[in-house]
Amino acid sequence: MHSILTRGNAILAYTLSVLAALTFFCFLSTLFVDYRTEASMNTVKVMVKNVPDYSASREKNDLGFLTFDLHTDLTPLFNWNVKQLFLYLTAEYATPNNKLNQVVLWDKIIQRGENAVLDFKNVNTKYYFWDDGNGLRGNDNVTLVLSWNVIPNAGLLPNVLAYGEHKFKFPAAYTTSRV
């Protein structure tokens, strides 16, 4: 009646359907988990320089330098469906040209099984804090925000903001010394 290929195809299709249903139910088991936690940040040293942009225009733009402290415990966020967390620290600020500027200053990947308690002191930024003009000098409303993406085994990739942020201001004068 049925050939071996037909029976093999039926068994494979049934097995894949069962696995897909199990994966979906596993995803549903962690769908409503709250992945937010408290984080505290503080700026230690803040400076701003006016340096040439190496594009064709050769105009000068602001370059911010800062060191920061960061403390948070991400251990409770890990469950069976979390492979890793991709953390990133952003600076958000407004300038006359743009209502919202967001600059990623630092990032880190924490995999399941690694130490997820972060207690960093006096850390330099990993990436440059460039502004596309002169919007950093004297800016008194810059906010540091810690966010993370949850990388699951199955399901959605939520983007999560930590409870807690830190507001700081840049000095009104440019720094002329080396950093």
pLDDT tens for residues 102-148?
999 999 999 999 999 999 999 999 999 998 888 899 999 999 999 99
**Count of domains observed in the chain:** 2
Compute the half-sphere exposure of residue 153: CA atoms within 13 Å on the CB side of its CA: 16
Give the tokens for residue 55: 């594009």
Q: Are residues 8 and 83 in the same domain?
A: no
pLDDT score for 178? 67
- Given pLDDT bands bounded at 50, 70 and 90, which one contains residue 57? low
Is there a single domain that holds both residue 107 and residue 138?
yes
> Based on the domain organization, do 153 and 71 belong to the same domain?
yes
- CA-wise closest residue to 52 among 44, 43, 62: 62
Q: Are residues 76 and 128 in the same domain?
A: yes
User: Does any domain span residue 151?
Assistant: yes
- Domain assignment of residue 178, yes or no: no
CATH number at residue 97: 2.60.40
Rg (CA), the chain: 23
pLDDT score at 1: 64
Summary mean pLDDT of the chain: 91
pLDDT recorded at residue 96: 86
**Do 19 and 76 sit in the same domain of this protein?**
no
Domain of 2, in residue numbers: 1-32
Q: Is residue 74 part of a domain?
A: yes
What pLDDT, on the 0 to 100 scale, is given for residue 150? 95
Same domain (yes/no): 78, 158: yes
For residue 174, tell me if it sits in a domain: no
Confidence of residue 179 (pLDDT cuts 50, 70, 90): low
Considering the domain architecture, whether residues 58 and 107 belong to the same structural domain is answered as: yes
